[in-house]
Copies of this chain bind each other. A is one copy, B any other.
Amino acid sequence: MAYQLYYWPGLQGRGEFVRLALEEAQASYIDVGREGKAGMAALLKILEGRNLPTPPFAPPFLKEGETIIPHVANILMYLGPKLGLVPKPDKLRYVANGLQLTITDLVAEVHDTHHPIASSLYYEDQKDAARAKTADFLANRMPKYCSYFERVLAQNPKGPTYTRGARLSYVDLSLFQLIAGLTYAFPKATENFPKIYKNLTALHNRIAIRPNIAAYLASNRRTQFNQSGIFRHYPELDG
């Protein structure tokens, strides 16, 4: 049975971290929000459902049978063993989930660079705060997170090819997306990434050419980065 992924259409957004795992594993899935009007209606029906036990707060969520699993890290923790994309010993699932939750935090901070005051306001209406927020993000937060992930790769007992162990995990795929997104949004501020984050850059480049990922990136299933997503390129914010 195909997995049902529910997410807003028209942007990569948080859904993209789940798509990359499904695509790498060649899992059968329906991207419900992209199935036209019927897809959006199905998404909203769940979000607004008044008879549903434990409705989700927001997309993305995964539906398998009657179970609805919201939040990227939660979906990936659930899918990890099924897709063969998490290290085997049970305890390492929590290690992977810890890394994924640090990625979640970074993603939220990236979102807040262009929307520091309110998601409900336009970027143009919070531009001054966005400038200040982004300046701090690029000077302090981005280097703190990226140095951390660089170090995680360096300290993997099996070598810096993957975040943990000797096999690809969903965390590695999410780091690919993170580096792709940051370099799209902040081309100037990230231009020295290949020099200072060697392991991360190598990871990104290796994952981009994995056959299933390369095929996905070249397909029309991959929405391009755009100004509706989390990673947005506003030249005036790029340090």
Q: Please list the residues of chain A having a beta carbon within 8 angstroms of any beta carbon in chain B.
A: 50-58, 61, 67-71, 73-74, 77-78, 91, 94-95, 97-99, 101-102, 105, 108, 112, 116-118, 120-121, 126, 129, 132-133, 136, 140, 145, 148, 151-152, 155-157, 163-164
The reply to whether B118 and A97 form a contact with Cβ atoms under 8 Å apart is no
Q: Does A54 lie within 8 Å of B97, measured CB to CB?
A: no
A62 to chain B, nearest CB (A): 9
Looking at the complex, which one of B50, B67, B163 makes contact with A54 (CB distance below 8 Å)? Answer: B163
Cα separation A129 to B136 with both chains bound (whole Å): 14
Residues in chain B near residue A50, CB distance under 8 A: 151, 155
Indicate how many identical chains form the complex. 2
| Complex alpha-carbon distance, A58 and B95, angstroms | 13
The answer to whether residues A74 and B91 also contact, given A152-B55, A164-B54 and a CB cut-off of 8 A, is no
User: Apart from A51-B155, A116-B116, what 17 extra A-B contacts exist at CB < 8 Å?
Assistant: A54-B99, A54-B164, A55-B148, A56-B98, A57-B105, A57-B148, A67-B94, A70-B98, A71-B97, A71-B102, A73-B101, A77-B97, A105-B108, A116-B129, A118-B132, A118-B133, A129-B129
| Cβ-defined contact, A95 with B152, below 8 A | no
Query: A98 touching B120 by the CB < 8 A rule?
Result: no
